[in-house]
Structures are given as structure tokens and as C-alpha cells.
Amino acid sequence: MSTPEASAQTNVTRINSHVFVCEPPKAPTSREAAYARPPSLIILFGWMDAQTSHLIKYVVSLRSLFPTCRIVLVRSTSAFFFTTQDQMEKLLTPVAEILEHEISLPTFSGVLLHVISNGGGFNLVSLNKVLAKLAGKRPHASRASPPFAPVALILDSTPGKDELKTAQTDLLSPNPVLYSLTAPVLAVVFGVYTVVNTLMGICRCCKSCARH
């Protein structure tokens, strides 16, 4: 999963195919007092099809900055486009449970969310749905007074609102001739993809899905 050096620095545990947890070292480090009030939890949402070894480098950097934090790494793969919402939520349920556990602790000091690219954004949306479902299962009194959770959100190269326009910008050539030839093809493919996935109930990136 990672190099021996990275493993030694991060102490990463695999929860499932998409979720990894990096616990803080038991012994305090020399940089532990660098931040007066670091977040209790960091959730790193990786970009789509990123190699785990590359994502571990981010974890190593975060660990050096926040030595006392628990870090959760969430992978994203292109299988997302062929995975049902229920399956994605099952994969991300451990992340939601870790977050809720951290929030319940008296020492909780907040959460840092680092979301990278489309893949990270998709998983963040799926996690939000998991949290909403878990909240709905709580007793009414618990839902009425949820604990305050300070959140810092980093959106790193995440997509904008217009999915087709974003795809055109990312995928098509700036050459006017090539753009004119390939733009209609991309539009057709995008339209077919959206319709098919919506009918199959596995589209999670369109505006109508985002409202639920």
C-alpha cells in the first residue's frame, strides 16, 4: 500500500477498499505544541484513481503539521460511476461513524476536510448523505440539539456547477478546429451518460440528485 518509510510515519490501517485511518503516535512529538488548538480529525478525500502511495504522501505532510490528529483517507476510483448510492454509502459509513465518535468526545476541537478534485467532491457528497441518514436514526432529542462541530473545508481543484462546461474545459483541446470536432461528441456522450445513470439510480453528480 505504501513505502516502509511512509508506513512508519503514518501508521495507516485499512478499513475497506476506500477508507484508511491514520492514528496519531502514542508518544508526543517535538512539534505537538505547534498549534494551540489543532483539529481533532482530518478527512482527506483523494482525487479519482489516485494511487494510494501518492495519497499517503499527503497524509505524511498532514501528520507533520498536525501530529496529534486522527487522519482519515478516503480513496476515489472510476468505479464510482458504476456504483449505486447505497454501495457508496456503505463504503463511507465507517468515515461517518468516526466523525460522529470524535464529535461526541469532550476534547473535540473540530474537523478539517481536504477535498481534492471531482473524485473527492463526489465522496464528500456521499458522506453528507450518510451523515444525514445517521442523524435521522437518532432520538428526536438528540437531533434537536446537535453538538457544535467547527469545520475547516479545503476545496482543492473541485469542479464547478456546470458539469458539461467543466468537462469541456478539462477534456477538449484548445485548438479551435479540434474543439469544434470533438465538442459535439463529448456533449452526446455526456447526455447519454447522464440519462442512463439517472434511470439506473446511480447518478450522484447532477443537480437534482444534489438536492436530496
Q: Of 2.40.128, 3.40.50, 1.10.287, 1.10.10, which CATH number belongs to 4-158?
A: 3.40.50
Q: Is 111:150 a contact under the CB 8 Å cutoff?
A: yes
How do residues 148-192 score in pLDDT, each as one tens digit?
668 899 999 887 655 666 666 656 677 777 777 887 877 777 677
- Where do the structural domains in the chain lie, given as residue ranges? 4-158, 160-212
1 confidence band (pLDDT: 50, 70, 90): very low
DSSP 113-172: EEEEHHHHHHHHHHHHHHHHHHHHHS-HHHHHSPPP--EEEEEES---S-HHHHHHHHHS
Most confident of 32-46, 91-105, 122-136: 91-105
Predicted TM-score (pTM) of the model is: 0.73
